[in-house]
Amino acid sequence: MRLLFLGDIVGRSGREAVVSLLPRLRQEMALDFVVINGENAAGGFGITAAICDELYDAGADAITLGNHAWDQREALAHVEREDRLIRPRNFPPGTPGRGNGLYEAKNGARVLVINAMGRVFMDAMDDPFASVDEALSDCPLGDVADAALVDFHGEATSEKMAMGHFCDGRASLVVGTHSHIPTADAQILPGGTAYQTDAGMCGDYDSVIGMEKDEPLNRFITKMPRGRFTPALGPATVCGVFVETGAGGLAERVEPLRLGGRLKPARPA
Amino acid sequence: MRLLFLGDIVGRSGREAVVSLLPRLRQEMALDFVVINGENAAGGFGITAAICDELYDAGADAITLGNHAWDQREALAHVEREDRLIRPRNFPPGTPGRGNGLYEAKNGARVLVINAMGRVFMDAMDDPFASVDEALSDCPLGDVADAALVDFHGEATSEKMAMGHFCDGRASLVVGTHSHIPTADAQILPGGTAYQTDAGMCGDYDSVIGMEKDEPLNRFITKMPRGRFTPALGPATVCGVFVETGAGGLAERVEPLRLGGRLKPARPA
Amino acid sequence: MRLLFLGDIVGRSGREAVVSLLPRLRQEMALDFVVINGENAAGGFGITAAICDELYDAGADAITLGNHAWDQREALAHVEREDRLIRPRNFPPGTPGRGNGLYEAKNGARVLVINAMGRVFMDAMDDPFASVDEALSDCPLGDVADAALVDFHGEATSEKMAMGHFCDGRASLVVGTHSHIPTADAQILPGGTAYQTDAGMCGDYDSVIGMEKDEPLNRFITKMPRGRFTPALGPATVCGVFVETGAGGLAERVEPLRLGGRLKPARPA
Amino acid sequence: MRLLFLGDIVGRSGREAVVSLLPRLRQEMALDFVVINGENAAGGFGITAAICDELYDAGADAITLGNHAWDQREALAHVEREDRLIRPRNFPPGTPGRGNGLYEAKNGARVLVINAMGRVFMDAMDDPFASVDEALSDCPLGDVADAALVDFHGEATSEKMAMGHFCDGRASLVVGTHSHIPTADAQILPGGTAYQTDAGMCGDYDSVIGMEKDEPLNRFITKMPRGRFTPALGPATVCGVFVETGAGGLAERVEPLRLGGRLKPARPA
Ligand SMILES: [Fe+2]
Ligand SMILES: [Fe+2]
Ligand SMILES: [Fe+2]
Ligand SMILES: [Fe+2]
Ligand SMILES: [Fe+2]
Ligand SMILES: [Fe+2]
Ligand SMILES: [Fe+2]
Ligand SMILES: [Fe+2]
């Protein structure tokens, strides 16, 4: 199977780049399944039902979230109705929506998608390791699921690498999100799970993690707010990770994808 | 000028890889100046005088540090004697050693090297923006310095990007360290400064940020210590950033470098 | 019932003050049950079996812990054997020991003791609210338990007050520990639960939270370690909270206790 | 001299209690100088010019702030005009307003007031120890100043105690703010400086640190926002610290003050 994961879409610039590129990518790369992190798609803060639809239309099979999941109030209702929209699994029991889903890809294969949030330098959620373990155990790779993808939304590289090893042999891909910067450490771990510490954002990299740079700079320098944070509007780089799975759903190949904007392009052959 | 920066050396594996590769790299890449972050060179924690010498012999012109600067007690004395060893500049006034240095490269050019530490999700140091500003102003690029390199040792990608823009037009390169994972966002910012959020470590990437993975995993899962953290001993990937400067010391080209070990190789032509 | 809770014992000074005062206090105050937080009893870091015995002999009925629970390795084994030693309940499942206990007081009454740890500005444990809720529900006050005491070991005053209200009407006392400073906010919440944000430590208050002040001061000022943290050895103030329960196990009276050392004495009549 | 410091006023309830009590207190307690922390006076977030005037009218001689200093935009302009309004001194150079002031008390004595902010578990400001040191050195107690009061706005009890010892012998009073809970550790340190870790808020203690408790509880339990934080409106307890200075401006007596609302009253004779 050929899977593509795209990192946090930041604002209009990121959305437009994904919507314009993804249809062609799906075809040219012969993608079977596409997952996108959409936690910053709506003006940098959260996501709306309309944006979800736009992304499904462009070729997304599932959308994951993160700490910005609830920035747009309508997401709370939408996440209940729309089973392709996944919020971090380690919110407390009773949280609206779901933290994982088993989907049928266009080729008929079953793809497990899990979203979880890190706790180092972030808000204290339920244990992400226990939570991901449960989801993977409920739906074993190579048995119930033909592919399994974990979007681990976290800050600390240590926690993200630990999650990669924790899932090694049980997931097709563990990919980090939230830092908004793609890492150059794509690898297949010893047990067969593809791993990249962060997918990077789909957004304008002439910015501070996707936001227009004046206000973040102002705050770092003066320690006082002057205005709001708004997404940078220059051309976005679409950032993600491509994985090809083999027998048993483990990874045979992992490649970064970076297209458009300011970053050096990387496109899996 | 042709400059190479290598990220945090982690333990023996990282040291051996750097020492065996660097002499050849210096020659083949026609490097004029090499800076290495050595904060984890001694068993993962700090640096010793002997390791510094080993790195100078291998081709390092200056060594930078970070939050692990003082893990080995002898570093406090050594940083006073050895002017090629630089600790973060934004330690309080009175801290032993120096936070920047102006060095003469083999080709006679003057290279300013600055080390500073971020404060987001890290210990509260003096203001890194004010500190770097002072060092850059004291020694203007294109005037006093022919090249200027800032090693910004930080956790948060936002603070690191902000530092990049803050120095844009006044430094040849702003490169992050500390996360131990190379980022894939090398770019030349609008003002001419090369930037990469993190250089990545020189260490074994089958690990948790360079440390043998069992104990970090144990702590994330059980929240209890079982043993010590020790560097992973598998083959290291040497990670860094190559910059070529032009007129006025600004960047004309920036390329990631990754050699050996598990990560996909990247070698500037 | 008449209950006394004493806050974190810090090192020898705190231990000696508690051991010398408690037997008399038990008698003079006609105490039915005494709980002590012992997480810093062994040289400031953790607790040993011998220290537990010393505290039981002096009149402790149960001992609670906190983030320093495992600083002494023997605690891991001791917490398995000794059912009067309680570690925070919201460690992950499988952690040695127990996070609550139902004890028989000398007067035959059953006392539920719960220990949990906060997550704001602390390590990310399992959800303390869900965890305490479970323990209180398993053992309802006024039904299974004649009194219920929650030691909530946390940093943020907001999280501690929230825990007080969360338990209000279901516990006799919610008392905070960990800050090592007694608060002056003892009150009975609207639902009948006694509450104090922090019990304060049993230790020397001419110190930095119980530790000899030179090294903490040095680190705040220079950002470099010079030596180790060791408990201050001046006379300790024994700090705690006294609660008298009425019908149904709710609080009828709550009073701070402070005896000896430098702080203004407070002794319930 | 007889000085009173009152902790963070939270919203209308806190304001009304202070405004109604302070005129009488000034007289009955024969106060020479009154300082109030007003960072939460305007609906819990910041302060306005009108509220400042209300507090001066009620008997405040100076008003200090904290991390909420700029929540009301008008404070930025007001702090420039009004020299009795003091913001934390360790904001970066160039910040509007002042971080200390030397005032003439009604009795003609000169009172130095310093405001600084802690950095542990808070935003990274400039070094508070260096900053307070500078202010105290510029205006030595017993020489230029007849009394000196430091409002150290911080989260961690360790940093606050360290600041107390750091100033010991050079200030009349070091008092903490920001935790919104009064501590019961008022003492005169060995060098003659009065110290209390936190003054406590002037606000409703049937709350979560002064805010209506439903929303904070909701967020701790569900990890999702449901509404806004608003100040609790029940009767406030006015909380503060009273100091009497002697020769050379050092403390001869320190007493907590707690009046009204739910907390046990404490009123210096
Ligand atoms: Fe994001
Ligand atoms: Fe995020
Ligand atoms: Fe490092
Ligand atoms: Fe580091
Ligand atoms: Fe403690
Ligand atoms: Fe603790
Ligand atoms: Fe406040
Ligand atoms: Fe505050």
β-bridge pairing D110-117 and D100-104 = antiparallel
pLDDT of residue C18: 98
Q: Using DSSP, how many helices (H) and how many strands (E) does chain D show?
A: 6, 12
First to last CA, chain C: 15
What confidence tens digit (pLDDT) does each residue in B221-261 have? 999 999 999 999 999 999 999 999 998 999 999 999 999 99
State how far residue A105 is from chain C, nearest Cα, in angstroms.
Answer: 35
Q: Which two tokens stand for residue B260?
A: 């050996």
C127, C131, C166: which to substitute to probe chain A, counting the most A Cβ within 10 Å? C127
Rounded CA gap, A211 and B71, in Å? 36
What confidence tens digit (pLDDT) does each residue in D48-74 have? 999 999 999 999 999 999 999 999 999
Nearest residue of B to residue C68, measured between CA atoms: B224
Give the length of chain C: 269
**Considering chain D, what is the average pLDDT of its residues?**
97
What confidence tens digit (pLDDT) does each residue in B168-192 have? 999 999 999 999 999 999 999 999 9
| Region C60-83 average pLDDT | 97
| C180 known ligand binder | yes
Enumerate neighbours of C (3 or more CB pairs within 8 A): A, B, D
- Does C111 lie at the interface with B, CB-CB under 8 angstroms? no
What residues of B form the annotated binding site for Fe cation? 8, 39-40, 67, 153, 178, 180
pLDDT of residue C269: 82
pLDDT of residue D269: 82
**pLDDT > 70: percent of chain D:** 100
B127, B129, B131, B132: which to substitute to probe chain D, counting the most D Cβ within 10 Å? B127
Nearest residue of A to residue D224, measured between CA atoms: A70
What confidence tens digit (pLDDT) does each residue in A9-49 have? 999 999 999 999 999 999 999 999 999 999 999 999 999 99
**Residue D265 DSSP symbol:** P
What is the predicted ipTM? 0.97
| Region D132-143 average pLDDT | 98
Confidence bin at D247 (pLDDT 50/70/90): confident
Size of interface C-D (CB pairs under 8 A): 120
CA D213 from chain center: how many Å?
23
- Does C265 lie at the interface with B, CB-CB under 8 angstroms? no
| C78 known ligand binder | no
Nearest residue of A to residue B130, measured between CA atoms: A221
**Considering chain C, what is the average pLDDT of its residues?**
97
| Region D11-37 average pLDDT | 98
CA distances from residue D224 to A68, A192, B6, D227 in whole angstroms, order as listed: 10, 36, 42, 9
Rounded CA gap, A191 and B233, in Å? 18
Rounded CA gap, A113 and A111, in Å? 6
Confidence bin at B214 (pLDDT 50/70/90): very high
Could you tell me the distance, in angstroms and rounded to a whole number, from the CA of residue C21 to the centre of ligand 4? 47
Give yes or no: D165 in active site.
no
- Could you give all domains of chain A from N- to C-terminal order, each with its CATH number? 2-259 (3.60.21.10)
pLDDT of residue C247: 86
Q: How many CB atoms lie within 10 A of CB C103?
A: 18
What confidence tens digit (pLDDT) does each residue in D94-114 have? 999 999 999 999 899 999 999
Enumerate neighbours of B (3 or more CB pairs within 8 A): A, C, D
**Considering chain A, what is the average pLDDT of its residues?**
97
| Region C5-18 average pLDDT | 98
Rounded CA gap, D107 and C1, in Å? 53
| Region C48-71 average pLDDT | 98
Q: Using DSSP, how many helices (H) and how many strands (E) does chain A show?
A: 6, 12
Rounded CA gap, B16 and B267, in Å? 19
To which H or E segment does residue A217 belong?
A: helix A214-222
| Cα–Cα–Cα angle for D54, D60, D65, rounded to 5 degrees | 85
Rounded CA gap, B262 and A187, in Å? 7
pLDDT of residue D175: 99
What confidence tens digit (pLDDT) does each residue in A228-255 have? 999 999 999 999 999 999 989 999 999 9
Whose atoms come closest to the Cα of D7: which ligand? Answer: 7
- Does B182 lie at the interface with A, CB-CB under 8 angstroms? yes
**Phi then psi dihedrals of residue A248, to 5 deg:** 80, 0
Rounded CA gap, C177 and C154, in Å? 6
DSSP bridge pairs for D85? D63
State how far residue A200 is from chain B, nearest Cα, in angstroms.
Answer: 9
Cβ contact B11:B40 at 8 Å: yes
SS3 sequence, chain B?
A: CEEEEECCECHHHHHHHHHHHHHHHHHHCCCCEEEEECCCCCCCCCCCHHHHHHHHHHCCCEEECCCCCCCCCHHHHHHHHCCCEECCCCCCCCCCCECEEEEECCCCCEEEEEEEECCCCCCCCCCHHHHHHHHHHHCCECCCECEEEEEEECCCHHHHHHHHHHHCCCCCEEEEECCCCCECCCEECCCCCEEECCCCCEECCCCECCECCHHHHHHHHHCCCCCCCCECCCCCEEEEEEEEECHHHCEEEEEEEEECCCCCCECCC
Rounded CA gap, D187 and D135, in Å? 23
Q: Do C126 and A125 touch (CB under 8 A)?
A: no
Confidence bin at B269 (pLDDT 50/70/90): confident
| Region C215-233 average pLDDT | 97
What confidence tens digit (pLDDT) does each residue in C175-223 have? 999 999 999 999 999 999 999 999 999 999 999 999 999 999 999 999 9
C119, C220, C238: which to substitute to probe chain D, counting the most D Cβ within 10 Å? C220
Q: Which residue has the tokens 């060179």?
A: B41
Could you tell me the distance, in angstroms and rounded to a whole number, from the CA of residue C39 to the centre of ligand 6? 7
- Does D225 lie at the interface with A, CB-CB under 8 angstroms? yes
Q: Do B70 and C95 touch (CB under 8 A)?
A: no
What confidence tens digit (pLDDT) does each residue in A63-115 have? 999 999 999 999 999 999 999 999 999 999 999 999 999 999 989 999 999 99
Nearest residue of B to residue D159, measured between CA atoms: B124
Q: Which two tokens stand for residue C183?
A: 């608060």
